[in-house]
Chain A
Amino acid sequence: MNRTVKSTLWVLVAISLLILTSFSYTSTNDLVNPEKAKKIHMIAKMGHGDYWNAVKMGAEVAAKEYNVNLVFKAPNNENDVGEQIKMMGESIKQRPDAIILSASDYMALAQVTDEAAYYNVPVLSMDAEVASAKVETYIGANNYEAGQKAAERMIELTGTDSQIAIVNFVKGARNADQREEGLLDYVARYPGIKVVDIRYSDSDQRIASQLTKDILISHPDIDGIIALNAEASVGVGREVKNMGKGGKVKVIAFDNPPENMDLLQEGVVQALVVQNPFNNGYLAVQLAVEASEGKHIPDRVDTGIKLIDLDNMLWPENQKLLFPFVK
């Protein structure tokens, strides 16, 4: 009697062990730990235009790849600094894992950036820097060099004895200022070059056109116009073409919206200084993820600039840069 009880007990122990182990096996297998999606806010200067669309596209590709919940915010106009500050404030309140900021104004956005850092929200600068030491990194082109390249090509085209005008976008924006600075510094080497006018288009194609018209009328002998961003470029090119000055007034433009490419092929625009907006967006999100995880990220990521003209626009690597592969 006693012995049978004992043996049944053993069997019970064995069976329970078996069940236990099989359970633990399945439970460890089925236990999936879904990584929480990162929340990253990207605050751009403007919500439309080809340049910003490309940035946004890059950012979205990276967001998908790195499981990021991306919030893209931007004012309607690049000069709407107040709105951008407000957006920063709202984002900080939501405590995202990181904020990517393309500051419309170098100084004006500094305070709110420091505030983000105070709340331990890492801020990454993209496209244009902000006057804060708390920024994790800067992702974008070397704008000073971009300005210099534009000036260099312009002087090659017009010669060292000419009049040129500049159509910039927003005064106070770091990239606008740096491009202008680089350009003027380069031009300063040539005493024969006169910069007859510097105008700000507020990244509005129509304003840029209007400004171009003014310049062309008030300086009929002008040799060239340099436009310092995509919107300004389109406005300038369009107006130069409309006024029948295509090819006579040399135009150096910025970035690669399709209209710029059209103008380049038509010979209205002689060269384009092209940044890499897709990469800016992509790398900004990628680095924001790394920064939010506390990883060390480089202080500056230069996504490069390229000077594109008719001769090299069809080079395979330039085709890839200039024409996004949209499916």
Chain B
Amino acid sequence: MNKAEPCSPTRRLRMLIAQVMNRIRLRSIQFIITISFMVITILVVLIVSLMLYNKFSKTAEENAYLNIQQIIEQVNSNLENYVNGMIDIYEVVEDQIDKSPTISSPILAEQLRAILKSREDLKSIALYTRKGDLVLNIPSLMMRKNTRLEQQSWFEAAIQRPKELTFSSPHIENLFKGQYSWVVSQSRQIKYADKSGRKQDGVLLVDVNFKTIDEISKKVSLGKKGYIYIIDSLGNIVYHPQQQLIYAGLKYENLEQVLSYSYGSYVDHSTGESRLITIKTVEPIGWKVVGVAYTDEILTTKQDLNQFIFWVLVVVILLVLLISIYMSAKISRPIKMLEKSVKKVEQGDFNTRINVKGAYEVEQLSHQFNLMIGRIGQLMDQIIYEQEAKRKSELDVLQSQINPHFLYNTLNSVIRFAQREKKEEVITMINSLSKFFRISLSKGKNIITVQDELEHVRNYLVIQNMRYKNKFQYKIEAEEKALSCLTLKLILQPIVENAIVHGIEMMADEGFIHISVNIVGDKLLFQVTDNGLGMSEETMQQLLTGHLKSEHGSSVGVKNVHERIRLYYGDEYGLQFESELEEGTTVCIWIPAVYEDEGGGVT
């Protein structure tokens, strides 16, 4: 009991599935068409959309990367131009100082002031001795105390690498009174002529503020969240949209990895978000332009595409489902109707006619089916008729085998001969009669040799000749080969009987009956010729159709022979008449030439 209980739900489920499967009928045309249509379409759509998706997303991604790279390159080249411009200015300043006969020349101060004024981003120009004493500064502001400039990087660099123009990291300018401000310093050791005109080594400082760098960088954006920043070769931030936050330690950039690149890009996960970092180095001074793009923004096109393709798929699948159900129903409905009709036929209704409209093939099929059904009906009718006819003719044969009328007449003749004590005639007659019946019956066989058939008709003629008191003569001829052929039995006797009764009995002169058997090609020809009254064309016609009314009824026998031959051997065989009134009649009987040895099987 306990074991059966958990089984029952699964069994129920299985039954349910089976029911559903039954309903669907897995092998029905509709199901097969629907499924295959759907599978193929969906597969094709899937493959195509996958390919498109791959292609599109790849292109979109590549474009995004390329775009970012181009932006960075643009910023980079702007910066390079800017830096080169700054170097040029530095060199102009250096040149002016170099050319000036003395550093205290007011012309020089005027020239330098003009240079400083020409650019908003130039903060100050200053010349120091190698010891750090101020020689000249534009604008001429008071020096602060405690500047410790000798320890500042720009000164140290100029002293250590006198020939090289260096750009310092961003730093606070604390040299002159006024506002403290962030600058980048260019410095190098140069020669100048002191007040007395002697050449001295000095350190030239040109401070640049961040105005232009900010302008170059500020407008650049990489997507909604993305941005660029600039660092110097040591990793100090030169520009960052959130520079103050970074300086205050509230935001960080993962600079370690950035510094290891001079050019290229990588994906960074240090902030928890996936970000594409693109780096390019500003050649003259080793600064790096770093682009930060958020991967999810780059991939929005991909996500859009994803969504779009998903919906397209859903719509396509729905459409395909609807169309395929509709199509398959359209195709399979006529076939189902055909199936129903065929079932009716199977149940025996040959009058069913299908009127199925639909595909050409199905229409043809139904048309052919209708024809076939008609033909089958006809054949059925024919078979029924032929069976009936066969049975009837067999009965006739049976009857003619015994033929009581003939027997009665013959026995009457025998009695008459016996009364007149004509012993010879009695013997001959009885003997012939006995042979006649033996062959008539011939152990129930339908087929006998031509020889037996001829023997049979000879005995008949003997008896008839005696009865009609030698009113006619007869002759039987046969080709030697024909004797051993097989034939349907009792085909000559009714013809001969007809010849006697209709041809010779009424004749005043002596009659003559000639019977011959010949092989004509592959056919066997029996010919019964009499010289009797002959028949009209009409009578000949009626003989075979059986419409001839005769008091003796023997015409039935002729027709019967004709039908038996045709039933047995086919329509190309049978009887032919040639007759002329007052001249006589020839009846030709055509049957196939079948030899005894080869036709042994035929019974």
Contact = CB atoms under 8 A, between A and B. Distances in A.
B245 A282 contact: yes
Contacts of B242: 61
A265 B311 contact: no
B143 to A, nearest CB: 11
A47 interface: no
A13 B322 CA distance: 9
B214 interface: yes
A316 interface: yes
A18 to B, nearest CB: 5
B65 interface: no
A162 B394 CA distance: 162
B114 interface: no
B248 interface: yes
Interface string A290-316: 000000000000000000001001101
Nearest to A17: B318
Contact of B318 (A14, A22, A314): A14
Nearest to A277: B248
Contact of A320 (B151, B179, B247): B247
A321 B174 CA distance: 15
B145 to A, nearest CB: 5
Interface string A24-39: 0100010000000000
Given A282-B250, A319-B172, A320-B247, A21 B147 contact: no
Contacts of A14: 318-319, 322-323
A25 B245 contact: no
A325 B244 contact: yes
B214 A327 contact: yes
A21 B311 contact: yes
B180 A314 contact: no
A314 B172 contact: yes
Contacts of B214: 327
Given A7-B326, A266-B145, A282-B245, A316 B179 contact: no
Contacts of B311: 21-22, 25
Contacts of A313: 174
A295 B547 CA distance: 120
Contacts of B147: 265
Contacts, number: 86
Contacts of A267: 145-146
A283 interface: yes
Interface in B235-259: 236, 242-245, 247-250
Contacts of B315: 17-18, 21-22
B179 A278 contact: no
A192 interface: no
Interface in B486-526: none
A265 B174 contact: yes
Contacts of B323: 14
A209 interface: no
B244 to A, nearest CB: 5
A91 interface: no
Contacts of A283: 250
Interface in B164-201: 169, 171-172, 174, 177, 179-182
Contacts of A321: 247-248
B245 to A, nearest CB: 7
Interface string B201-215: 000000000100010
A258 B180 contact: yes
Given A258-B180, A310-B148, A323-B172, A282 B322 contact: no
B442 interface: no
Interface SS majority for chain B: mixed
Contacts of A278: 244, 248
B152 interface: yes
Contacts of B177: 262
A18 B319 contact: yes
B134 interface: no
A324 interface: yes
Contacts of B236: 316
A84 interface: no
A267 B148 CA distance: 13
A325 B236 CA distance: 14
B172 A279 contact: no
Contacts of A18: 315, 319
A314 B172 CA distance: 8
Interface in A228-268: 258, 261-262, 265-267
B144 interface: yes
Contacts of B174: 265, 313-314
Contact of A21 (B148, B249, B314): B314
Interface string B304-328: 1001100100110011001100100
A319 B244 contact: no
B187 to A, nearest CB: 16
A323 B180 contact: yes
B146 A10 contact: no
Nearest to B234: A316
A276 B151 CA distance: 26
Contact of B146 (A29, A276, A310): A310
Given A17-B315, A61-B244, A323-B180, A265 B171 contact: no
A284 to B, nearest CB: 12
30 contacts: A14-B318, A14-B319, A14-B323, A17-B315, A17-B318, A18-B319, A21-B315, A29-B304, A61-B245, A258-B179, A261-B180, A262-B177, A265-B144, A265-B145, A265-B147, A265-B174, A266-B144, A266-B145, A282-B245, A313-B174, A314-B172, A314-B174, A316-B169, A316-B171, A323-B172, A323-B180, A324-B247, A325-B243, A326-B244, A327-B243
Given A316-B169, A322-B172, A323-B181, 5 more contacts: A10-B322, A18-B315, A25-B307, A316-B171, A319-B172
Interface of A: 7, 10, 13-14, 17-18, 21-22, 25, 29, 57-58, 61, 258, 261-262, 265-267, 276, 278-279, 282-283, 310, 313-314, 316, 319-327
Nearest first, the 7 A-B pairs at minimum CB distance are: A320-B247, A325-B244, A319-B172, A325-B243, A25-B311, A265-B146, A323-B172
